[in-house]
Amino acid sequence: MGFEGFLGILAVVALFVVSAFFGSDEANSKDNEQLDKLDDGMGSIIADGEHMTREEAKDAQARGELYDTYL
């Protein structure tokens, strides 16, 4: 394997790392968008009839327990 083969492998690894980095940003953007929609305007989140802090909502969202229901 020569220098060109090494550069090819390096390019593939770099593309993988970049795609993984930007893919996670898209997921975080969707998560933040959901929390923004459920925000009551005073720093609390209202989901499923419950009032919770933004941190509690992030934890529930990470567990898959936060749904887009209002009041």
Spatial separation of the C-alpha atoms in residues 53 and 67, rounded to whole Å: 15
In the predicted model, is pLDDT for residue 10 greater than 80? yes
Tell me if the pTM is above 0.85. no
DSSP-based helix, strand, coil % in the chain, nearest 5 = 65, 15, 25
CB 51 within 8 A of CB 40: yes
pLDDT tens digits, residue range 27-61?
Answer: 667 778 888 888 888 888 888 788 899 999 989 98
Contacts of 48 (CB under 8 A, 6+ apart): 67, 69
Identify which has the larger pLDDT, 15 or 22.
15
Q: How confident is the model at residue 71 (pLDDT cuts 50, 70, 90)?
A: very low
CA angle 29, 54, 31 (to 5 degrees): 20
